[in-house]
Amino acid sequence: MLAVSTTAGLLATVILPLSAVGGWIAGLPADRIGRVRTPQITNLWFSLFTSLQGFAQSFEQLFVFRALMVTTKASCPVQAGPDLPNAPI
């Protein structure tokens, strides 16, 4: 088992790089399926993996659910909260 500070650090560290990747990846379907449909899909994705974090049984599950949740944050400015301080709201 990892130490508590290391665990918290890993969960916090996963946010920034995956947010950047998620915003870049979400731009591709936005060009193809529209800029209205893409935030709708990413909102569902965000909600699903945010909810699954509450049911995580181990650190590894929590890490994966959080990583998948974070990939959609940059694609929808409404979801950008305190984890992305410079995001437009």
Q: How far, in Å, are 19, 45, 57 from residue 25 at the CA level? A: 10, 14, 29
Using an 8 Å Cβ cutoff, are 49 and 70 in contact?
no
Highest mean pLDDT of the ranges 13-27, 34-48, 65-79 = 34-48
pTM: 0.70
Using an 8 Å Cβ cutoff, are 89 and 78 in contact?
yes
With cut-offs at 50, 70 and 90, classify the pLDDT of residue 48.
Answer: very high
